[in-house]
Amino acid sequence: MRDIPVADPGASYRAHMGQIDEAVGRVLKSGWYIMGREVQAFEEAFASFLGASHCTSTGSGTDALVLILRALGIGPGDAVVTVSHTAVATVAAIDLVGACPVLVDVDPVSFTMSTEHLAATLGAWSGAPIRAIIPVHLYGQPAELGPIMELAARYGAWVIEDCAQAHGATYRGRPVGTIGIAGVFSFYPTKNLGAFGDGGAVITSDSGLAQQCALVKQYGWRTRYVSEIPGMNTRLDEVQAAILRVKLEHLPGGNARRQAIASAYQNVSIGGVAHPGRLLDREHVFHQYVVQAEERDRLRSHLSAQKVGTAVLYPVPVHKQPGYAGRVKVGPGGLPATESICKRILSLPIYPEMTADDISQVISALSSFSV
């Protein structure tokens, strides 16, 4: 038995070492490290991979969220709806631009925004104007974008997709990130498309909005040293862009491998443990493979004794975090599904470089769990 970590970004380096070493060496030797050819080539390649017209790269996924909110003119006096069962980043970005985060519940099968609770929240809302809705394609599972887009249109709000965990996932055949006004990605090392450092991007097919993103991204400059509007500074660097160009080539294969591992896990039936839902109209890319277990902590120790690493993403919803509890609003009736699933969820190891032996070890550890 070997130790199987829940994620292993180093394995993705070892799998493509020759190509990555060549890419990094090329940048270091070029003498050009910021805003050069690699960044431009990656932005073009990533936009074209998704079928979008524009990609603006950023220093992180959190920065990408802040950038798109600022580019849309969302700030103090505005409200933005998202979920509480997500990476803190989603809510932190709304808070960072000075808008009020309004949190709705999730569907306990898909783990993504509950359309019913979104409708109820929008219907009952009487606070600051809701300018945007940010569904999160959590764990690689696309949120229910059809009804979310309809509700957003009815209430005059933009849809910004948080795709930080869902590079290459599709909803009714369309890549996520291309359905709302914009999609936001993170290239944190463990993400399906991960750099070996930080990075992020905003994707849009609205040219005016892309231009606004470019302005806000760099001090409001259209011409160097002339700030037309107040801006920020957030950049993907040339080394990470060169690495991401290599990694992007391997993204479809990596996602297919994650799906194959997920299918292998899904075939194991264990009492008291529910596998993640696969829905007909969406293609899940399994950034995480999340089971729900009545006796989660006992399952976790059992797997750990068999050298299988696990994680809980996320143990405490954002509206229960001390730093955010007083800064967010929750929809009518509270967030019962969000509060109950965080006690049951467990992420199992899933990454493209897992070997057949690794997968068998996880499966036999799961199979030997008895309620």
Ligand X SMILES: *Cc1c(COP(=O)(O)O)cnc(C)c1O
Give the interface with ligand X as residue ranges (CB under 6 A). 60-62, 86-87, 89-90, 136, 162, 164-165, 186, 188, 198, 200
Q: Which is nearer to ligand X, 47 or 136 (CB)?
A: 136
**In the complex, minimum distance from the CB of residue 73 to ligand X, in angstroms, rounded to a whole number:** 21
- How far CA 65 is from CA of 18, 200, 248, in Å, comes to 33, 9, 21
Q: Which is nearer to ligand X, 167 or 245 (CB)?
A: 167
With DSSP H G I counted as helix, E B as strand and the rest as coil, what are the percentages for the chain, rounded to 5? 40, 20, 40
Q: Burial code of 46-76, b = ≥16 C-beta within 10 A, e = fewer?
A: bbebbebebbbbbbbbbbbbbbbbbbbebee
Q: Which of 326, 312, 342, 328 is nearest to 91 (CA)?
A: 328
Q: Which is nearer to ligand X, 52 or 201 (CB)?
A: 201
**In the complex, minimum distance from the CB of residue 178 to ligand X, in angstroms, rounded to a whole number:** 17
Closest CB to ligand X: residue number: 61
Q: Which is nearer to ligand X, 204 or 240 (CB)?
A: 240
Q: Which is nearer to ligand X, 188 or 324 (CB)?
A: 188
**In the complex, minimum distance from the CB of residue 166 to ligand X, in angstroms, rounded to a whole number:** 9
User: CA-to-CA distance for 253 and 178, rounded, in angstroms?
Assistant: 21
Q: Are 350 and 286 in contact (CB under 8 A)?
A: yes
User: CA-to-CA distance for 187 and 85, rounded, in angstroms?
Assistant: 20
Q: Which is nearer to ligand X, 88 or 268 (CB)?
A: 88
Q: Which is nearer to ligand X, 141 or 361 (CB)?
A: 141
Length of the chain: 371
Coil, strand or helix at 254:
helix
User: CA-to-CA distance for 239 and 359, rounded, in angstroms?
Assistant: 33
Q: Are 9 and 194 in contact (CB under 8 A)?
A: yes
**In the complex, minimum distance from the CB of residue 65 to ligand X, in angstroms, rounded to a whole number:** 6
User: CA-to-CA distance for 158 and 155, rounded, in angstroms?
Assistant: 9
Q: Which is nearer to ligand X, 136 or 193 (CB)?
A: 136
**In the complex, minimum distance from the CB of residue 2 to ligand X, in angstroms, rounded to a whole number:** 27
Q: What is the strand order of the sheet 158-162 is part of?
A: 54-58, 200-204, 182-186, 158-162, 130-133, 79-83, 100-104, 329-330
**In the complex, minimum distance from the CB of residue 226 to ligand X, in angstroms, rounded to a whole number:** 29
Pairing of strands 200-204, 182-186: antiparallel
**In the complex, minimum distance from the CB of residue 211 to ligand X, in angstroms, rounded to a whole number:** 24
Q: Which is nearer to ligand X, 60 or 361 (CB)?
A: 60
CB under 8 Å to 39, separation ≥6 — which residues?
57, 235, 236, 237, 238, 241
Residue 155 in tokens = 């209430």
Q: Which is nearer to ligand X, 78 or 162 (CB)?
A: 162
User: CA-to-CA distance for 178 and 180, rounded, in angstroms?
Assistant: 6
Task: Report the amino acid identity of residue 220.
Answer: G
